[in-house]
Structure 1
């Protein structure tokens, strides 16, 4: 199964929630062997087999830095409720620390064109604006890229 599908954008309710909640971030660097930008776009990356896709998006939406684990947990719970209303399923959210500030990691299943995809999405503050790093693969994809991609989002993306 190729990952040349369109990754879902955060639902409008999620973006509105982010407005209610700053450390500058660098451009996305994908330190995974064999991954390349899609069509020369350094914001969208795929593995050599095309089974996994990573996308970085920056929004003009205000998203102040989450200064504590408690703030991140509160946002994670609101995000989980908002995602639940958007039609995705199997939603898990959690705070993750990034160099002294906090981000929120969401994982969920999204269906598009009759195919289920497992999404991992990191919500970060970039100079007070929302930035996401999103990874996607088919729900039951067993390629090595899946765990590498999820580990990158969970532990390294910033």
Structure 2
């Protein structure tokens, strides 16, 4: 099964905040870069896909949960315009906060479950996005979501 790259999803969010540029991610064991692109990774079955992007857009550190909640509210409004229902959650990252968004993305008659983390990286926006086909039950799905929720930073 071939999953879409979450480029369009990330591009939508980045239009709110700036333009994108690739960055390196070191994902879980067994994942490999897609077509040699070190910012896009898939698991060995091809059922899950992760992408990391940095932007040139300034993105302040979210130093408190209220700051993260304020950003999350704005992000929810913007993503909901094109993605439908969006679940947003501030996540603590040992001294700073990030925002995790989850939503469905439809492309070519298929629906994909997307998890997307918004982080401050030296004053710039960085996103880590994971996607899998709706109904996918492979081991990669939970591993990818846990990586994005708890470990990506």
Show the 5 A alignment for 1:46-85.
Answer: 46-85=42-81
CA contact (8 A) 2:10 2:129 kept: no
**1:10 shift after superposition:** 3.1
Shift of 1:127: 1.1
Which SS does the other structure have where 1:10 is aligned? helix
* Deviation at residue 34 of structure 1 after TM alignment: 1.7
| 2:10 alignment counterpart | 10
Counterpart of 1:95?
Answer: 90
Q: Give unpaired runs (5+ residues) of structure 1.
A: 20-25
Gapped regions of structure 2 (runs ≥ 5): none
TM-score by length of 2: 0.89
RMSD (Å) for aligned C-alpha atoms:
1.7
CA distance in 1, matches of 2:54, 2:80: 23
CA distance in 1, matches of 2:149, 2:43: 17
With over 3 angstroms needed to count, the CA separation of the structure-2 counterparts of 1:15 and 1:2, relative to structure 1, is closer
Task: Confirm whether residue 29 of structure 1 aligns to residue 26 of structure 2.
Answer: yes
Higher relative contact order, chain-length normalized (CA < 8 Å, sep 6+): 1
Q: Whole-Å Cα distance in 2 between the matches of residues 125 and 72 of structure 1? A: 11
User: Normalized against structure 1, the TM-score is what?
Assistant: 0.86
